Amino acid sequence: MRTIRELMTLALEREASDLHLVAGTPPCLRIHGAIHFLEDGLLQGDQIREMVQEILSPAQLERLDSELELEFSYTEPSLGRFRAALFFERANLAAAFRVVPLKVRSVHDLKLPTAVHDLARRQAGLVLIAGATGQGKTTTMNAMIDLINSERRARIITIEDPIEFVHRHRRSVILQREVESDTHSFNRALISALRQDPNVICVGEMRDLETIGTALTAAETGHLVISTLHTQSASQTMDRIIDVFPGHQQNQVRMQLANSLQGVVCQKLLPRVAGDGRILAFEIMIATPAVRHLIREGKMEQIHNVLVTGKEQGMIPMDHCIRLQYERGLISYDIAVSNSLDPESFRSLRVTRESETFGL
């Protein structure tokens, strides 16, 4: 049986995004979104525990046994960096390791549209990056941090669980705080950050009412706040933020959101038709006066119409972007339809191939 470090090395060599250890199966890698089993023997729960003990401190091992779950970041100098999640499944230990590149990829490396560059250059307000797990939200957020770091003399505070990409100070000073090791919670760290002279605050994920409320306040008070949410569209992102609050607070939250929001970037990674990787599809909403009005009025269902007509402001609906990628021959029709937000409308959708407008 290979050691955990040997498996990590293999994950890097095969350009996998994740390494998974589950009792009853061989070790497996996620490559370009698909699971591939290694030609190893079936893992046993005690084998997995023995493997991960190599990289755990006594305190981490104690917390795993007491809480039955453990999330942490791990750096092997000769290998790279990994985001790890340990947990129990049918009384057996299981593990998921996300491969984190040592080099932060820039907005240009990722071919992010210019509208995303512009959002990173805002001086204040709320910028949200949305999408399902594993769709590159953290990579995009860190590319935006890298852009700010390269262009602006600012003080940037990140709050993450755990820290994935490690930034070097360039034109900015970057302070990276990790939940559990540097702070007890996102909300507590966010409240403290307001007293630490930040220009930019990056929150790994807005998970609860308290964190969302504090992030809105920070964005209103002259800070640029960048964070992520697990939502599929711009309108759904607005609904998620508002619905997390009790009914009697929702009108006030709509006002706060309308005033502070700068934009929303929703993204999906789709497998290329050639089978040589994945390509980014995205939905971009910029907080124009029309968008702010719809948010204040609670008319989220009308946001899609603004996206369709907002090309000149850098806006694009998700299904239009997916259609463009399909028409360029980069993704298959089946992948395009299955990933569209409205498959029935997608089948009859026609869009002009103005790829340069959106940075495609």
List per-residue pLDDT tens for the chain, 360 residues long: 789 999 999 999 998 999 999 999 999 999 988 999 998 889 998 999 999 999 999 999 999 999 999 988 888 777 778 989 999 999 999 999 999 877 899 999 999 999 999 999 999 999 999 999 889 999 999 999 999 999 999 999 999 988 888 899 999 999 999 988 899 899 999 999 999 999 999 999 998 999 999 999 999 999 999 999 999 999 999 999 999 999 999 999 999 999 999 999 999 999 999 777 899 999 999 999 999 999 999 999 999 999 999 999 999 999 999 999 999 999 999 999 999 999 988 988 877 655 445 555
3-state SS class at 289: helix
Burial category of 310 from C-beta neighbours within 10 Å (exposed 0-12, middle 13-18, buried 19 and up): buried
| Per-residue model confidence (pLDDT) at position 353 | 52
pTM as predicted: 0.85
Q: Alpha-carbon distance 282 to 318, whole Å?
A: 5
The token pair at 89 is 């499944």
Distance between CA 60 and CA 313 in Å, rounded?
A: 48
All structural domains of the chain, each given as residue ranges with its CATH number in brackets, are 4-100 (3.30.450.90), 114-358 (3.40.50.300)
pLDDT attached to residue 283? 98
| Cβ within 8 Å of residue 188, ≥6 positions away | none
Q: What is the pLDDT of residue 360?
A: 57
Dihedral (Cα; 293, 296, 300, 303), 10-degree rounding:
20
Tell me whether residue 151 is exposed, middle or buried, using C-beta atoms within 10 angstroms of its C-beta: 0 to 12, 13 to 18, 19 or more.
middle
Which among 188, 136, 148, 146 is positioned nearest to 167, based on CA atoms? 146
